[in-house]
Amino acid sequence: MHFPSRGRIVPPPAFPDPRRALPAATIYARQSILMREVEKYKHRRVKSARAFGEIDHPPSWSPGFRALSVETVSHLVLQLEWRGSCLMGVIEILDTPAGRMLRDLYLQGKRLGVSSRSWATLDRRAGATFIGDDLDLIAFD
């Protein structure tokens, strides 16, 4: 799909393959868990233009991990779609302090990544970490 930029910066799709983005030995109990959460996120956030992301993840132990901070919001997710097992997304870089920092890095040709921020029960066994069925997708940062 094509999104006219109307003066906005809309980089090409750049979301990673979720299987390659995970730390070694981290496994979704079922791939359908991630697919379910992406569909919920699209319905609840993307369609209503509330799919904001931050320039970086807050630490998982911080009180702000499960919510977005308006001080560090940098982009808005405009589209998410699966291409095979790869999740692709389109973002708009926002005119916020964090968005301007992101824009400047992008315009300088720096390679930037996108990753999902989520909360779930983790089950560590047999040298691997399994992500539980209670996965809650918070944002794409």
Query: Of 7-11, 50-54, 89-93, where does the model show the most confidence?
Result: 50-54
Q: How confident is the model at residue 27 (pLDDT cuts 50, 70, 90)?
A: low
Other beta carbons within 10 angstroms of residue 32's beta carbon come to 10
State the Cα–Cα distance between residues 96 and 42, nearest whole angstrom.
Answer: 23
Residue 3 pLDDT > 50, yes or no? no
Looking at residue 139, the DSSP 8-state letter turns out to be E
> What is the structure's pLDDT at 130?
81
Q: Which stretches within the chain are classed as H helix?
A: 18-21, 31-41, 97-107
State the Cα–Cα distance between residues 5 and 79, nearest whole angstrom.
Answer: 14
Q: When comparing pLDDT for 22 and 8, which is higher?
A: 8
Q: How confident is the model at residue 4 (pLDDT cuts 50, 70, 90)?
A: very low
Work out the end-to-end distance of the chain between its first and last CA atoms, rounded to an integer number of angstroms. 22
Mean pLDDT of 91-95: 90
Q: How confident is the model at residue 86 (pLDDT cuts 50, 70, 90)?
A: confident
What percentage of the chain reaches a pLDDT higher than 90?
29
Give the residue extent of every domain in the chain.
18-140
Backbone angles phi, psi at 19, to 5 degrees: -70, -35
Q: Which of 90, 75, 7, 5 is nearest to 42 (CA)?
A: 90
Q: How many residues does the chain have?
A: 141
